[in-house]
Amino acid sequence: MDLFDLYQQQQIRGQARDLRQTEENLSRNRRHTNDQVEETEERVDRLLLLCEAMWELITETTALTTEDLAAKAYELDMSDGNKDGRRQRMAVTCHCGAKINPKAGICQFCSAPAPERSAFEAV
């Protein structure tokens, strides 16, 4: 075995070690992603259950119908100008005239607190 063979074997061992490390990292990332997906699915399931419970209470105690619900959902969906099944958070205008990022609590120019938002917009 000459010096070049030793060098090649050392390179191969190093690359095999790197490959094992990469596989371990991928496996860890996959488990983390699966945990996040599972947690999100549980949250969506809980949210759906609460929505169903609220809707049953509403229909049991008011004259509202599923058509009313669909019309309101359409109205809210279209309030941002896009029919995409969700409602985009819109920037609000500060008293100084600057637009405040929907996720920020204060104006980045004058530090004034953002105007009150609905409970859902604060989520």
Binding residues (CB under 5 A) for Zn ion: these are 94, 96, 98, 107, 109-110, 112
CA distance 44 to 17: 41
- Residue closer to Zn ion, measured from CB, 7 or 109: 109
CB 64 within 8 A of CB 58: yes
- Residue closer to Zn ion, measured from CB, 69 or 96: 96
What's the closest the beta carbon of residue 89 comes to Zn ion, in angstroms?
Answer: 18
What's the closest the beta carbon of residue 95 comes to Zn ion, in angstroms?
Answer: 6
- Residue closer to Zn ion, measured from CB, 71 or 96: 96
What's the closest the beta carbon of residue 99 comes to Zn ion, in angstroms?
Answer: 9
Length of the chain: 123
Report H helices in 62-93: 66-78
- Residue closer to Zn ion, measured from CB, 14 or 115: 115
CA distance 118 to 122: 7
What's the closest the beta carbon of residue 101 comes to Zn ion, in angstroms?
Answer: 12
Ramachandran angles phi, psi of 26, nearest 5°: -65, -40
